[in-house]
Amino acid sequence: MKNGTTVERKSERELVTTRTFNGPARIVFEAWTKPELFKRWWAPKSMGMSLLSCEMDVRVGGKYRLEFGDDAMAFFGTYLEVTPPSRLVWTNEEGGEGGPVTTVTFEEKGGKTLLVMHELYPSKEALDAAGTGAADAMVETFAQLDELLVTLGASVGRS
């Protein structure tokens, strides 16, 4: 059974996502910090996403850069905090000034890990714009994903 993902707009400037993983924090942390593992899940095939390149220099002040296929879209930024296996903080600079700072914490309990991803935007307007922009840019991709999720939802509902 898959664990549920929750997303909550905690305040005008914050978006918080949570998910539990059936494994210890050191393993989940490893999957977030090793490029060869990260790229296997961050661009899910089910989304029609494919990564051209994935560079991650995971240390304080180190940079990361993720590049996509056709339109050469890129996500990039800088790691601000790296505390294995419990905490990662980085900037998202592709959107210029309006980009959020992302904090991910890994909290282990009884062999499972609660992951909390916290995105803090510089302003309410920046978060609103990110929502609208992301929605516009990804409508097509999400339409594919919607189809997949309907299929998945149907099979999950039966189990």
Partner 1 sequence: MVQYSRTGFDASFAALSDATRRGVLEQLGRADASITDLAEKFHMTLTGMKKHVGVLEQAGLVTTEKVGRVRTCKLGLRRLDEEAAWIKRYRQLWGARFDELDKVVEELKRKEKVDGRKERE
Interacting residues toward partner 1 by CB under 8 A: 1-9, 15, 17, 19, 21-23, 27-28, 30-31, 37, 40-42, 44-47, 117, 131-132, 134-135, 138, 142, 145-146, 148-149, 153, 156-157
* Pairing assessment for the beta strands 51-56 and 87-91 based on DSSP bridges: unpaired
SS3 124: helix
Nearer to partner 1 by Cβ, of 61 and 154: the residue is 154
| CA-based R_g, the chain, Å | 16
Nearer to partner 1 by Cβ, of 47 and 74: the residue is 47
Nearer to partner 1 by Cβ, of 89 and 130: the residue is 130
Could you tell me if 58 and 104 are in contact, meaning their C-beta atoms sit under 8 angstroms apart? no
Q: How far is the CB of 108 from partner 1 (least distance, A)?
A: 12
Q: How far is the CB of 18 from partner 1 (least distance, A)?
A: 10
Sign of CA dihedral 112, 89, 98, 72: negative
Q: How far is the CB of 40 from partner 1 (least distance, A)?
A: 6
Q: Which amino acid does the sequence have at 78?
A: T
Measured between alpha carbons, how far is 144 from 70 in angstroms, rounded to an integer? Answer: 17
Q: How far is the CB of 50 from partner 1 (least distance, A)?
A: 13
Nearer to partner 1 by Cβ, of 45 and 61: the residue is 45
**Residue 104's CB: how many other CB atoms inside 10 A?**
19
